[in-house]
Structure 1
């Protein structure tokens, strides 16, 4: 709640569920993606501003996408876009997809590939696998 009240002064926060603590952070992972380390019982949240229209049913949500570094949905790509410059651009491509409901995407920062899918890790858990460290799984929460 404190982070929401601070508006632009809170680019990120972390939650330690085991110790019931929340940490306001003064910077995000822009250019520092490899510094984030997975830790059981903890979550990291980061504010981003997308230029795509947010669906009406999702506008009140506190977050619209979950990001998991180093994971992907194997073999379930419905559309691939090349030369996508950022994770935000990949998220926007997912939100703007019109030929199918984009439930997830993967962004590879090394190849600049963005893969869109009508599936997600819940609909196909057996295909949710470890990927290269440059790949980020992005799940639409709308």
Structure 2
């Protein structure tokens, strides 16, 4: 019987080879994530109505509290963006940009939007609060000088205040109907995704606050017009202890005083704006609540009231002087005078001798 002597180095080499083979079988390379089907789509050819839109006809829709998910379509990410308007301007100046996600300090641009892919727009998760803005082309509408034309609230409607109703083919067409309205200032519209009904109204969440008209509705989208002109307002600021805004529209640094903060809020393009004070900077955010007075109407009403009071006082004074003058000029008959004196003496009035 032959005896085979195996060197220890050979045994060690065999073990290394076996371990390496085992590692190759057990450790698999990471599987790459599947690329979305729409990654290779040329969005400029899919959306020529937006990409070829005239600059003055480009419009934006704001959706508060929602985030758009399309990683393959992300064009750019801009940290340090402190104003929503700056984020919107980036998309406006980028021909390929069709939508943005914005949260305080971060602006993300996309080459697609939520209308292309239903279900891609979801509620933002606490504590992150995101604003989604979509670019539209409202070619038949008058120009609007606001950062966004409409604020869109999905699953809600403003009931009982419809002034006109029409059947349209898209949400954007409903927005155009509102912007073109001339019989009354259109402040909002309800669009039904299932039927295409478009109801426009001269009321919005601000003017109808406290009425309970703003309520959930299936297949409905509430569109609030941000292009409508509002009168100058005198707002009441209420301090809220222990609260902070999660996401804001604008951040102003090195503000000197609280009064300067309020002044910035009153002159902002948002109709209502809570404020957060601290570390010499302020933040402004659009809101749907607040106590505001129409200052022009208040001054006009006070002026009319004062003029009416003055007219009443002058008229009453003139009537009183006329009656007094007529009584003084009226001659007294002797019989009346004698009778009056007799009554006076009979009552105990002392006679003069």
| Fold-level similarity (TM above 0.5) | yes
Aligned residue pairs total: 134
Q: Which has the larger strand fraction?
A: 1
Deviation for aligned residue 1:32:
2.9
Q: List alignment gaps of at least 5 residues for structure 2.
A: 1-85, 228-353
Q: List alignment gaps of at least 5 residues for structure 1.
A: none
Instruction: State the distance in 1 between where 2:180 and 2:92 align.
Output: 26
Q: Which residue of structure 1 aligns with residue 103 of structure 2?
A: 16
Look up the SS of the partner of 1:89 in the other structure: helix
| Cα 1:50/1:26, change in 2 over 3 Å | same
| Cα 1:115/1:138, change in 2 over 3 Å | same
Look up the SS of the partner of 1:32 in the other structure: coil
TM-score by length of 1: 0.85
Look up the SS of the partner of 1:95 in the other structure: helix
Please list, as runs of the form range in 1=range in 2, the aligned pairs for 1:16-35 lying within 5 A after superposition.
16-17=103-104, 20-35=105-120
Deviation for aligned residue 1:98:
1.5
2:190 paired residue among 106, 112, 117 = 106
Q: Greater CA deviation, 67-76 or 112-121?
A: 67-76
Look up the SS of the partner of 1:91 in the other structure: helix
Is the 8 Å Cα contact of residues 52 and 95 (structure 1) preserved in structure 2?
no
Relative contact order higher in (CA < 8 Å, ≥ 6 apart)? 1
Deviation for aligned residue 1:22:
1.4
Please tell me whether Structure 1 or Structure 2 has the larger radius of gyration of its CA atoms: 2
Deviation for aligned residue 1:71:
1.1
Q: Which residue of structure 2 aligns with residue 71 of structure 1?
A: 156
Is the 8 Å Cα contact of residues 154 and 222 (structure 2) preserved in structure 1?
yes
TM-score by length of 2: 0.36
Instruction: State the distance in 2 between where 1:33 and 1:101 align.
Output: 32
Instruction: State the distance in 2 between where 1:99 and 1:34 align.
Output: 37
Deviation for aligned residue 1:47:
0.5
For the aligned residue pairs, the C-alpha RMSD in angstroms reads: 1.7
Q: Which has the larger helix fraction?
A: 2
